[in-house]
Amino acid sequence: MKKNIILMGPPGAGKGTLAKQLKDALHLVHISTGDMFRDAIKAQTELGKLAQSYIDHGDLVPDEVTIGLVKERLSQKDCEAGFLLDGFPRTLPQAEALSEIAKSISREIDVVVNLDCDVDELVRRISGRRVCKNCGAPYHVITMKPKVEGVCDLCGGPLYQRKDDNEDALKVRLTHYEEETKPLLDYYQKLGLLASFNSLVGKENLFDEVSSFLKK
């Protein structure tokens, strides 16, 4: 089984949903950049403190700090059985650094799962997305409606639309993706690690296709 995985794709392609499904089904550790920062800051590691100092001043956390946090996280014992990286790497320098890190700790990447998605579909998905203010559960006004409009099925919290979940904001995010992250696909293609899937087949079909591929 392919156990050390990078999950890639444009915003709205369904990475978060697929990551949760794979984590539960294949017993992988799901590591998102946001979770990684929060865990390191909560644990008050040296790198966590350093990251906090940048965040407190409203600055972007430099690559070297983020890369250090990734190495710190992947070195932990729970990653021995396999991990799913979501949100990292985002740039070519990060990808190159990750290759060195993974090799140095004997946890080299087995595969990069990339989700392809039509731009019009991304707009539909993002603009209709709603999130619970209390527990963060995701919903959609068309494809994943709550039982009671505006109310979370799980905790009863109010649902809201994120400020950047609109067409104009998505276009900006897609521009960043095209310029900074999409070149990584060529990088991983050359390394023979890239496997692309059509995310328009629906979340259950997508999960079946990806999980079957990873189990080979």
Distance, in Å, from the CA atom of 115 to the CA atom of 17, rounded to the nearest integer, reads 12
**Pick from 25, 69, 18: nearest CA to 43:** 69
| Cα angle for residues 34, 38, 41 (degrees, 5° grid) | 140
Give the whole-angstrom CA distance, residue 10 versus residue 103: 27
User: Do residues 25 and 17 make contact, with C-beta atoms less than 8 angstroms apart?
Assistant: no
Single out the residue of 25, 27, 31, 24 nearest to residue 6, CA to CA.
31
Tally Cβ neighbours within 10 Å of residue 214.
Answer: 21
Q: Is the dihedral of CA 213, 98, 26, 205 positive or negative?
A: negative
Spatial CB neighbours of 157, under 8 Å, sequence gap ≥ 6 = 132, 133, 134, 135, 151
Active site residues: 15, 90, 129, 162, 173
